[in-house]
Amino acid sequence: MDLLELRMAFEVHAACLTATRRSWAQESNIWNAARQFEASVDDESSLDHLDFAFHRSISEATNNGAFIELFNLMSLQIMPQPAFSKEVNPALITPTHIENSVKEHRAIWEAISAGNAEQTLEAMRAHLSRSHPRYRGFSDDNASPLSYVPREE
C-alpha cells in the first residue's frame, strides 16, 4: 500500500504536468502507447509491457528530469508485476477489467490532448484508484487477490 500511495502522488501529478507541458511528439507517443495497449487486449503476454510504456510516456512528457529519473528508478517497484496475468489473478483479470483499463487510458490521453490539467488529474486518479481494492484484498474470501498464498480452510 505504501508504494501504491507513492504511485498515486507521483503519477497523478506527472499526468497533470504532462497536460500542459507535452510536445506534439510526446503526445503522439502517449497516444501510440494507449492504442497499442488497446490493440493487444487479447495478447496477455504483452499487456504489462504496453501498460508500462503508456505510463512511462506520460512521465517522459512532464519534461521534468526528476520525474523521468524517479519513474526510471522506481517503476518496477511501484507498478505491480504481473498486473495483467489471468493465470496469477483469474478472479481479477477479466475481459471487463482489461476493457476498463483501455477506457481509462483513453480518458487520460484525451484529457492530455485537450491540455486540460484538471481533467487529466482526475482521469489518472480514477485509473490508479481502481488498484486500491486489489491491493487491500477485496475478494469475498478475504484473501488478497494479489497474494499467492491460498486461503486456509
Instruction: Give 17-49 pLDDT, tens digit per residue.
Output: 999 999 999 999 999 999 999 999 888 788 888
Average model confidence (pLDDT) across the chain: 81
Q: Is the dihedral of CA 135, 138, 141, 145 positive or negative?
A: negative
> Side chain identity at 131, as an amino acid letter?
S
Q: Between 97 and 107, where is the model more confident?
A: 107
Q: What is the pTM of this model?
A: 0.80
Q: Say how far apart CA 106 and CA 110 lie, in whole Å.
A: 6
Domain extents for the chain? 2-136
CATH label, 2-136, candidates 1.10.760.10, 3.90.76.10, 2.30.30.30, 1.20.120.530? 1.20.120.530
d(CA 25, CA 96): 31
Residue 38's nearest CA partner among 83, 103, 86 is: 103
- 19, 30 contact by CB (below 8 A): no
The H-or-E segment that residue 5 falls in is helix 2-21
What's the pLDDT score for residue 35? 96
